[in-house]
Chain A
Amino acid sequence: MATQHSRSAARLMMAPAVILLLGWMLVPLIMTLLFSFKKYLPLRGGDLGWVGFDNYIRFVTSSAFWPSVLTTLTIVGGVLVITVVLGVFLAILLNQPMWGQGIVRILVIAPFFVMPTVSALVWKNMFMDPVNGLFAHLWKFFGAEPVAWLSEASLSSIVMIVSWQWLPFATLILLTAIQSLDSEQLEASEMDGAPKLAQFGYITLPHLGRAITVVVLIQTIFLLSIFAEIFVTTQGSFGTRTLTYLIYQRVLESQNVGLGSAGGVYAIILANIVAIFLMRMVGKNLDA
């Protein structure tokens, strides 16, 4: 079927889509690169000419840079651990036959449909508000001092909000994986004398390996760029300034497009390092 003719026809037909996507990616990327080598202050004189690597040096030598990288990695790592662990647990739970299974599954998936801004606002005002939040009431009910979540435990609060949003995704993927586990394998291990915990460790968890890999990879890509949750809750204060947020502040709050663009290029590099690292770590899991 793959004759010379049909192959060139296929290329021709795919071309519009490929060119569109390539342009969609290349234009912003090239503009970012271009701006990163310029001193560009929109409200203070506009384009002030080429400055070489000045912006790059200024961005990394700023006292805010390394803490922001650390914050980013902490949030990503924390959310990954929480969603994978709880996701496996929930998937096993939801896989048990029970009454109202369909409805429960939809309820579990629901948080994924809530927009990040909305869910962050709901958490901020309904749960974490130190005066009127549900947590504050709960703490008071047990006679404890209410916690000012977003200022005292700001980073953990954001990890909590983001985990809540991404748990459904992890659960969903892991649930479908767990459903494909051959029940004869579990029965065989049962006959081999494996107690429930060993069955989980030796059979279920290795079976879930690939699904966990997929969850980790996809979530990492999205978590590196979380923004709305921080913008709505802490505005980057109390040690919650991630790399993404730092770039936003440089561009819009300090009105320094050149410096922000340099930060953007660093973010691209960081994302790629993490991606390569992850691929290496879990790649062998994927081709099995």
Chain B
Amino acid sequence: MGQIQLNQVTKSFGAVEVIPPLDLTIEDGEFCVFVGPSGCGKSTLLRLIAGLEDVTSGHIAIDGNDATMTPPAKRGLAMVFQSYALYPHMSVRKNIAFPMKMAKLPEDEQKRRIDAAAQALNLTDYLDRRPGQLSGGQRQRVAIGRAIVREPSAFLFDEPLSNLDAALRVGMRLEISELHERLKTTMIYVTHDQVEAMTMADKIVVLQAGLIEQVGSPLDLYHTPRNKFVAGFIGSPKMNFIEGPEAAKYDAHTIGIRPEHITVSADEGPWSGVVSVSEHLGSDTFFHIHETGLADTITVRADGEVNFRHGDRIRLSPRADMIHRFDAEGLRIA
């Protein structure tokens, strides 16, 4: 079990309110990702759930029991820190055993769980090494191992992949997703990387300045962003926003169109512009287009085979059914 409920939770540091009243329910077994730009309060929110920070007001319930005042160790949650926070003077085995040692579990049970975790995380050969002798990815796995053996009701991840290089990040992303499939335990994952959020989450919570902008499944957020912020934050490259007369045609203050929903061609389409930079990724090509008269830059994602160069004048046609409309406040017009 691992249902977590936040009820009118607020947090202030002195006079600064970091999190205004906030309600959120995370269902049992869900992979929930908190995503938002740096300083949006997502880590603070995670620390409130963990119990490392006290809430200023409101209630936190875990499995229906009020846990607002429960000390961190008694909440049955395990956390993986951004810096991994391994104990440098202990071997990997002792690191993983530490929470069980503190819980005074019998030796043979400890050993069984360590072996199982080591097996699952490919750490069997490293059990007697110290964290200092491991690579970033291995340290990450030790930190996860230390969390698993507690058999918590929910895992909390605080930007766990931000210290890894790009290739390793993709690998660990998969491993964490697989772990979730296998354990079916609630996971709450904090990141500023929308790709991580989109690929891993069952439910994404988009935060800005402590406010929840939208909660929904990755595709919900992609297809029906509730406002301009979510629309711009989810999806890569970013959505194009167009204001003025072109938007007025659609009865909106602003319209948004994703780069992948615009097609380019040499001579067909309602909009025109000049290619400024084209980024060839092989599978895709990103065009940054200027002089459209619509916005500073329009980004277009085209097939890898499409080949326009710097300075080419091309025409663009947006897919009409994929245009998002926003009013003057930035809210979505249904």
Contacts and interface: CB of A to CB of B under 8 A. Distances in A.
Contact of B73 (A182, A184, A190): A190
B99 interface: yes
A194 interface: yes
Contact of A184 (B81, B102, B103, B132): B81
Contacts of B89: 206-207, 209, 288
B103 A187 contact: no
A225 interface: no
A192 B73 contact: yes
Interface residues of A, number: 19
Contacts of A60: none
A188 interface: yes
A207 B150 CA distance: 24
Contact of B87 (A185, A193, A195, A209): A185
Contact of B85 (A185, A194, A206, A288): A185
A202 interface: yes
Interface string A189-229: 11111110010001100110100000000000000000000
B52 A192 contact: no
B217 interface: no
A193 B132 CA distance: 24
Contacts of B86: 185
Contacts of A195: 102
B83 interface: yes
Contacts of B82: 184
B50 interface: yes
B83 A202 contact: no
A104 B37 CA distance: 40
Contacts of B79: 187-188, 191
Nearest to A184: B85
A182 B103 contact: no
Nearest to B103: A193
B118 interface: no
Interface in B188-203: none
B255 interface: no
Nearest to B83: A184
Contacts of A202: 87, 90, 98
Interface residues of B, number: 25
Most buried by A among B73, B77, B78: B73
A195 B102 CA distance: 8
A202 B51 CA distance: 21
Nearest to A192: B99
B72 interface: yes
B290 interface: no
Contacts of A206: 87, 89-90
Nearest to B94: A202
B146 interface: yes
Contacts of B77: 191
B95 to A, nearest CB: 10
Interface in B57-78: 72-74, 77-78
Interface string B101-121: 011000000000000000000
Contacts of A194: 73, 98, 102
Contacts of B99: 191-193
A184 B84 CA distance: 8
Nearest to A187: B52
A185 to B, nearest CB: 5
B144 to A, nearest CB: 13
A189 B98 contact: yes
Contact of A193 (B52, B73, B90): B73
Contact of B52 (A182, A190, A203, A209): A190
B260 to A, nearest CB: 39
A191 B74 CA distance: 8
Contacts of B74: 193
Given A188-B79, A193-B73, A198 B102 contact: yes
B72 A191 contact: yes
Most buried by B among A188, A190, A207: A188
A65 B89 CA distance: 43
Contacts of B98: 189, 192, 194, 202
Given A184-B82, A191-B77, A191-B79, A203 B87 contact: yes
A185 B98 CA distance: 12
Contacts of B88: 207
A189 B52 contact: no
A249 to B, nearest CB: 46
A206 B51 CA distance: 26
A191 B87 contact: no
A27 B52 CA distance: 62
Given A206-B89, A209-B89, A188 B102 contact: no
A200 to B, nearest CB: 13
Contacts of B87: 185, 188-189, 202-203, 206
A189 B81 CA distance: 11
Nearest to B78: A191
30 contacts: A182-B83, A182-B85, A184-B83, A185-B85, A185-B86, A187-B72, A187-B79, A187-B81, A187-B85, A188-B79, A188-B87, A188-B146, A189-B87, A190-B72, A191-B77, A192-B98, A192-B99, A192-B102, A193-B73, A193-B99, A193-B102, A194-B73, A195-B102, A198-B102, A202-B87, A202-B90, A206-B87, A207-B88, A207-B89, A288-B132
Interface of B: 50-52, 72-74, 77-79, 81-83, 85-90, 98-99, 102-103, 132, 146, 150
Closest 4 CB pairs of A and B: A193-B73, A192-B99, A188-B85, A184-B85
Given A191-B51, A193-B99, 11 more contacts: A185-B86, A185-B87, A187-B81, A188-B79, A191-B77, A191-B79, A192-B73, A193-B74, A194-B73, A203-B87, A288-B89
